[in-house]
A and B are shown apart, each in its own frame.
Chain A
């Protein structure tokens, strides 16, 4: 019979190997979350490792009642990222070059260079993606947190509410306000950069 997550978490409080299994289960999800909050691989790796070290040091205090283990980890990740930005004393923004490098590292669009049109399309897609990511970086921390949980982790409003300590309705409302602010930021950045997006 396979071990439930609750059993594994209970065992991880005293058994390092059990904690290792939890790490394997969640490392990719936490890395994704952190990567999109900091924008580069080096910091994402450093902070992901920090999240799990902090979780290891505090797991004896974790009480599973009411808060799933994954939600607890995302809360730690959010705090680690917020502290990181505070320590940096500036809001890091992704440069086009960084995103272009990232697109190469994590290719998502077809980037074949067999013909010039495909290259142009790939470049346009990378530029549009960089533009949107830059707009997201201008959002308040809490709103970035929400978008990453929703689109990177694919969580529902109820799950996000558990992590953010808000009701499902409050998350829905915050999400709507976030989209309005994001669109305004995109328009502002487009005006500044002379980029046009293919809006509806």
Chain B
């Protein structure tokens, strides 16, 4: 097997690829049904809903850390 391609080889392969990958179009019924499905899909988790949750988790984690440190200090 040759590992080199000439310009003619490339042109031949590209012509075959262009023929093989002929344009296809989706069925109109599918396009309509999938659009309807998207319009009716439940709302994704909002980007704005995340920060308060993250903030609350961070505050709780910090409070726990402070609590543990205070407890360890009392033990000494």
Contact = CB atoms under 8 A, between A and B. Distances in A.
B17 A147 contact: yes
Interface residues of A, number: 49
Contacts of B12: 199-200
Nearest to B30: A45
B36 to A, nearest CB: 10
Nearest to A102: B24
B27 to A, nearest CB: 7
Nearest to B15: A200
Interface residues of B, number: 34
A60 interface: yes
A80 interface: no
**Max count, chain A CB within 10 A of own CB: residue among B24, B25, B46, B47:** B24
A58 B21 CA distance: 30
B56 interface: no
A56 B17 CA distance: 33
Given A180-B3, A183-B5, A19 B10 contact: no
B44 interface: yes
B62 interface: no
A200 B39 contact: no
A30 B57 CA distance: 39
B21 A152 contact: yes
Contacts, number: 106
A27 B39 contact: no
Interface string B4-40: 1100111111001111111111110011001101110
A interface: dominant SS: helix
A195 B67 CA distance: 77
Interface of A: 13, 16-17, 19-20, 23-24, 27-28, 31-32, 35-36, 41, 44-45, 48-49, 52-53, 56-61, 102, 106, 108, 125, 128-129, 132-133, 136, 147-148, 151-152, 176, 179-180, 182-184, 187, 197, 199-200
29 contacts: A16-B39, A24-B31, A27-B31, A27-B34, A27-B35, A32-B24, A36-B24, A44-B26, A48-B30, A49-B30, A52-B34, A53-B37, A53-B41, A56-B38, A56-B41, A57-B44, A59-B44, A60-B45, A61-B47, A106-B23, A108-B23, A128-B16, A129-B20, A133-B20, A151-B20, A179-B5, A200-B9, A200-B11, A200-B12
Interface of B: 1, 3-5, 8-13, 16-27, 30-31, 34-35, 37-39, 41, 44-47
